[in-house]
Chain A
Amino acid sequence: MRCLKIHQIHEYLENQMPAPQKEECEAHLQVCARCRRLFEDRRRFHAASYTLPELKLPENFALQVMAKIKSGESFSAKWFWLSIGSAILVFFLLTGMTLVRFGPLESWIRLMQSFAGMFQQGALTLMKGLKVIMAFFQAAAGFINLILEKLGSLASLVPPETPFLVIAVFILMTAALILGRSRKSSLGENE
């Protein structure tokens, strides 16, 4: 066997080497002083690095962490209730300020006035909207009249008996359709 590579020595020491290769390695170490020196060096390194002293934690470490977890939770819960409380406080504060500023009756009147103002504003907007719709329909009606006038001028070019012919054709077509349908349905019954 050739001289050992450094990674092979580490593999051997970590028991990561397949058994046949391991035997070869051991046989080589018996005869090669250079590899034996390298091996001994890495063996000492492994022995020391796998037995480094354990870093010690304070006895109450787990309790400290749990306290931190719980304080974090109570902190967020505290914030939730604090924000709810603040909102209620602001509401009462504003109501109180209104009552103090205008008095109970006056504040009610002002409230009603503001509602009436809102309704008035709404009605005005609605009226404006209706005006727009009316204008649209007027324009549409004018356009239809214009088309009808044009059609009227075209009517002078058509012979006077044409409407009668159209009506006759329409009646004939309808009759043919009804007859065809009744025939089809009677055929279906026979089948």
Chain B
Amino acid sequence: MQDDKEIIRRTLSGEKDAFEMIIRKYQSPVFNYIGRAVGDHQTALEFTQDIFVKTYASLASFDHQYKFKTWLFKIASNYLIDYWRKKKLLTVSIDQSLSPDDDRPRIQLSSPHRNAEEQLEMDELRKKIESALEKVPPELRELFIWRHINGLSYKEMAQIKNIPMGTVKNRVFQAKELIRSHLEDKL
């Protein structure tokens, strides 16, 4: 697959169809982010379309010293902030940050004794997480999605939101515990 910056250069030099490669590469991460954030399939489809159209329109202003993925998620995040602002949703308080340490999510998912029963239990848990996610404040939800669904690193998330990495970690932690508390409510 071609480098993002090369595709952008081609698009800007008049080869407009090259942008389709960018869409194909990032459509799923953006749609999964937006879909989980707004919780409605049709709205998510419209928003994702708009985000790509917006990205195309402002492509000339892309600063090549940054990663395209980070820039794209920033556009998507700002788009959602506008949406949430229009819906007049509340933001959340921010606790003190943890020590900065960055890495991509590499969790120990495998359980030594996985069986069909546990698989069923997992599916059930996933459904509960999905519905609990809707109850989490947008700012925390967004970071949780980026980390757990889009697989962004804490560093990337900090760059997109323009906040310290420790703050990002702390908010992701808050989001996880909040979702977990909603799961407990359901039990």
A contact set with B: CB distance below 8 Å: 6-7, 10, 13-16, 41-55, 57-58, 61-66, 68-70, 72
Tell me the smallest distance from the CB of B165 to a CB of chain A, in Å: 11
Residue pair A62, B23 in contact (C-beta under 8 Å): yes
Q: If A16-B101, A69-B16 touch, does A10 touch B49 (CB 8 Å cutoff)?
A: no
B contact set with A: CB distance below 8 Å: 16-17, 19-20, 23-24, 27-28, 31-32, 35-36, 41, 44-45, 48-49, 52-53, 56-57, 98, 101, 103, 105-109, 111, 121-122, 125-126, 129-130, 144, 148-149, 169, 173, 176-177, 179-180, 183
What are 29 pairs between A and B in contact, CB < 8 Å?
A: A6-B177, A13-B108, A15-B103, A45-B129, A45-B179, A48-B122, A48-B129, A49-B148, A49-B176, A50-B107, A50-B109, A52-B126, A52-B148, A54-B32, A55-B35, A55-B44, A57-B28, A58-B45, A61-B23, A61-B27, A62-B20, A62-B24, A62-B27, A65-B20, A66-B17, A69-B16, A69-B19, A69-B52, A72-B57
Contacts of A41 in B (CB 8 A): 180
Contacts of B53 in A (CB 8 A): 65, 68-69, 72
Contacts of A64 in B (CB 8 A): 49
Residue pair A68, B177 in contact (C-beta under 8 Å): no
Q: If A13-B107, A52-B130, A62-B23 touch, does A44 touch B176 (CB 8 Å cutoff)?
A: no
Rounded to whole angstroms, the CA-CA distance of A66 and B103 in the bound complex is 35
Rounded to whole angstroms, the CA-CA distance of A89 and B153 in the bound complex is 59
Contacts of B36 in A (CB 8 A): 52, 55
**A10-B173, A66-B20 given; 13 more Cβ-contact pairs under 8 Å:** A6-B177, A42-B180, A50-B148, A51-B122, A52-B130, A52-B149, A54-B32, A57-B28, A57-B45, A61-B48, A62-B20, A62-B24, A69-B52
Residue pair A7, B173 in contact (C-beta under 8 Å): yes
Residue pair A45, B125 in contact (C-beta under 8 Å): yes
Contacts of A15 in B (CB 8 A): 103, 106-108
- CB closest residue in chain B, given A16: B101
Q: If A52-B126, A65-B23 touch, does A47 touch B109 (CB 8 Å cutoff)?
A: yes
Q: Contact partner of A57 among B31, B105, B107, B108, CB < 8 A?
A: B31
- CB closest residue in chain A, given B180: A45
Tell me the smallest distance from the CB of B170 to a CB of chain A, in Å: 8
Rounded to whole angstroms, the CA-CA distance of A78 and B173 in the bound complex is 51
Residue pair B52, A65 in contact (C-beta under 8 Å): yes
